[in-house]
Amino acid sequence: MSAKPSLQHGLVVGTFGRQYLVELAGAEILTCFPRGKRSVLACGDRVEVARTAPGQGVVEAIDPRSTLLYRSDQFRQKLIAANVTQIVIVLAVVPSFYEELLNRCIAAAENQRLSLVIVLNKFDLTAENAAALDRLTPYSDLGYRVIPLSAKRDISPLRPALHGQASVLIGQSGMGKSTLINALIPGAGASTAEISAALDSGRHTTTHARLYHLDAGSDLIDSPGMQEFGLHHLTAQDIAEAFIEFRPLAGQCRFNNCRHLVEPGCSIAQSQAEGKIDARRLDAYRKLVREIDSGKRF
């Protein structure tokens, strides 16, 4: 009977369909597959792998996760990143960003107790700068950090926010996320192209996730561009708790089971009518709750 291969600890630094790049101690990287048919790994996962051939291995176990960021609709879920401490949402002055996606990302961050940074990219387009920044005023008023910058000119305003964090970049297509990544990590685009060629899986270049080490204590995961962020794995109560401006009003509604939709005596609705809660945020909350209630896909 042959001996069972010894296991080595590693970090998932790339996901390409059902193929994963696992970084071992000493920076050696193996191309690995999971046991079974399901792809259950996310970039940032810490795993145990067994070598199966030179440069290749199989993932035998996943370590417990401190956080897991994913999106879901009523049919399936899509893993984004594991063990991160911070979400960096990338928006742009132009094209106009999708505020609903922003609110969904914020809700996901709050649910996982993650720090949050909002990057407003392409801030060198002066004619549109003021209007774009004004749209983000409700978020900066809530205490979320908003960093205006132009990734093509100067990435330095973002660097301090990434230090000491395991961050994941999230953004819809066209926001300049790739430009930002290449400014932070020169050669990242070339590295991705080489990996895709080696795996003979160029079709995955728009759907992969990749982890980069910024320094000894700071990691950055580049996630695929997205146009949607379903939250069907959250309950209506989870959503309410993820809107931080609602928290001081908890328990102040007329009815204990108030869902802040159409109920009379709702403290949230009253606060919005008094200008203390932004109307767009309340609308975003209600849309999310009704979506979860109805089971409709986002």
pLDDT tens digits, residue range 122-157?
A: 999 888 899 999 999 999 999 999 999 999 999 999
- How large is the C-alpha radius of gyration of the chain? 21
pLDDT bucket at 40, cuts 50 / 70 / 90: confident
Classify residue 150 as exposed, middle or buried by CB count within 10 Å of its CB (0-12, 13-18, 19+).
Answer: buried
Q: What is the pLDDT of residues 149-198, one digit of tens each?
A: 999 999 999 999 999 999 999 998 888 888 999 999 987 764 544 555 55
Residue 214 has pLDDT above 80, yes or no: yes
Tell me what pLDDT residue 269 has.
97
CATH annotation of 236-294:
1.10.40.50
Is the pLDDT at 201 greater than 50, yes or no? no
pLDDT of 274-287, one tens digit each? 999 999 999 999 99
Classify domain 7-62 at the CATH class level: mainly beta
Mean residue pLDDT across the chain: 89
Residue 278 to residues 148, 182, 264: CA-CA distances in angstroms? 22, 35, 19
Q: Phi, psi (5° rounding) for residue 265?
A: 70, 25
pLDDT for 178: 87
Distance of CA 1 to the CA centre of its chain: 46
The predicted pLDDT at position 262 comes to: 93
Model pLDDT, residue 226: 78
- What confidence score (pLDDT) does residue 205 get? 41
Query: What pLDDT score does 294 carry?
Result: 82
Host H or E run for residue 100: helix 99-111
Average the pLDDT over 62-81 and give the result. 88
Please report which confidence band the pLDDT of residue 2 belongs to, taking 50, 70 and 90 as the band edges.
low
What b-and-e string marks burial along 158-177, b requiring 16 or more CB atoms within 10 Å of the CB?
beebbeebbbbbbbbeebbb
pLDDT score for 76: 79
Chain centre to alpha carbon of residue 177: 13
Provide DSSP, 128-180: HHHHHHHHTHHHHHTT-EEEE-BTTTB-TTTHHHHTT-EEEEE--TTS-HHHH
Burial of 206 (0-12, 13-18, 19+ CB in 10 A): exposed
Half-sphere exposure of 204 (CA within 13 A, CB side): 19
Place of tokens 């291969």: 5
Residue ranges of the domains in the chain?
A: 7-62, 68-222, 236-294
Confidence label for 297 from pLDDT (cuts 50, 70 and 90): very low
Residue 42 contacts residue 82 (beta carbons within 8 Å): yes
In degrees rounded to 5, what are phi and psi of residue 30? -110, 145
Cis geometry, peptide bond prior to residue 64 (ω within 30 degrees of 0): no
User: Does residue 78 register a pLDDT over 60?
Assistant: yes
- Residue 174 region by backbone torsions, left for phi larger than 0, else alpha for psi between -120 and 50, else beta: left
| Residue positions counted in the chain | 298
Please state the φ and ψ torsions of residue 14, each to the nearest 5 degrees: -160, 140
Residue type, 73: D
Q: Which CATH architecture does the domain made up of 68-222 adopt?
A: 3-Layer(aba) Sandwich (3.40)
**CA angle 14–54–199, rounded 5-degree value:** 40
